[in-house]
Structure 1
């Protein structure tokens, strides 16, 4: 699970942030915007060509970057590009929050990206409670990130904003991801899916 989460975060979050900031420092903001978008679609194309499953997180990142880039180009405004994460974080957080009213909260829909998930496992009471709690956690995190980004955008220069946002948002996402892993591992132990609490297999009877 740690490997899957780390790989998904690396491809969908860490590398695009690094590409954006590196390109921004070398070639300016518009080149950085294009670089992050090219990376996301390149990663999706590579996984499709190699017949690997594309994570929902990577697809979500590509869709959000596409919308941000299109609106910024049409308005010819880089400020609008950096304002849109405030809106997108708020929208995503709202979707997570609203999904709590459905039978499958948002984390339940994304769980298969990080752990092999069949129907029998997904409907266990502890696992369903975990999905609901994690959905609420990520909704609250989305609202907090939106507020922090808006404050940075209004109070800092563009260079400072890009640097601070890249580092702080990456750190927040990584810490939240590993908090999610910790809570999931705790439930997995209680369910006997890992650790010493896993039921031992029953030996088959020897033939007469």
Structure 2
């Protein structure tokens, strides 16, 4: 009679380790500077030297130069750089079509709408935009990134940030068309800071909750 043997034990899934805040910051800060801070800084530097056309040229050179450098090295272009490239492209197209100083303020608003569309249109794709941006900012193990809980997190965050940027663009456009420039600069800056700051805080809390659920299931 054949001896009864116990069924093989299924492999234990790798443990989910919460990244340290210092590690997240070291990884995220250079990407935030490259894709969000430096395009604005180069724009204003170029505008001081050569006016609005010079500012646009400087910002385009920075963003597309970074993307071209990665393509030349055959490395992946981060999602944050892709978003910056989309927004810069919209600004340049509108600046060429409309020869009016007011488009200096409207161009970034159109870029915000474009960023919103980028998040929302990738919700149903294999890799939502929130997942690409998260990979730039917070390095995660491949088995964690592909987990169904994380997949739902990335879809949820693409919706959240798409809607937040849509509200940002609509609010900015309404203020620009209905208020004086001084009121626009003051109220819009404060309002957008509250909106995007609150959205970022909610995203961080959702991220920690999702990782906590993964650790519980591991």
1 CA distance for matches of 2:126 and 2:70?
Answer: 30
Equivalent residues of 1:69, 1:81 under 8 A apart: no
Equivalent residues of 1:17, 1:166 under 8 A apart: no
- SS of equivalent residue, structure 1 residue 191: helix
**C-alpha distance after superposition, 1:88-144 (max 9, x if no partner):** 433432443344445644323443323345653234232123212212210121111
Alignment of 1:105-184 (within 5 A): 105-117=128-140, 120-154=143-177, 155-157=179-181, 173=196, 176-177=199-200, 179-184=202-207
Equivalent residues of 2:46, 2:57 under 8 A apart: no
2:214 paired residue number = 191
Distance 1:73 1:163, change over 3 A: farther
2 CA distance for matches of 1:84 and 1:187?
Answer: 36
Question: Tell me, which stretches of 5 or more residues in structure 1 are unaligned?
Answer: 200-208
2 CA distance for matches of 1:89 and 1:27?
Answer: 25
Shift of residue 11, structure 1, vs aligned partner: 0.6
Distance 1:179 1:39, change over 3 A: farther
Equivalent residues of 2:78, 2:132 under 8 A apart: no
2:3 paired residue number = none
1:15 paired residue number = 38
1:72 paired residue number = 95
* TM-score with structure 2 setting the length: 0.67
Q: Choose the corresponding residue for 1:60, options 83, 88, 102.
A: 83
- SS of equivalent residue, structure 2 residue 36: helix
2 CA distance for matches of 1:170 and 1:13?
Answer: 14
Equivalent residues of 2:46, 2:55 under 8 A apart: yes
Equivalent residues of 2:106, 2:173 under 8 A apart: yes
1 CA distance for matches of 2:125 and 2:97?
Answer: 36
Q: Choose the corresponding residue for 1:38, options 51, 61, 84.
A: 61
May I ask how many residue pairs the two structures share in their alignment? 194
Equivalent residues of 1:16, 1:40 under 8 A apart: yes
* TM-score with structure 1 setting the length: 0.70
2 CA distance for matches of 1:127 and 1:177?
Answer: 17
Q: Runs of at least 4 residues of structure 1 off by over 6 A?
A: 162-168
Aligned Cα root-mean-square deviation (Å): 3.6
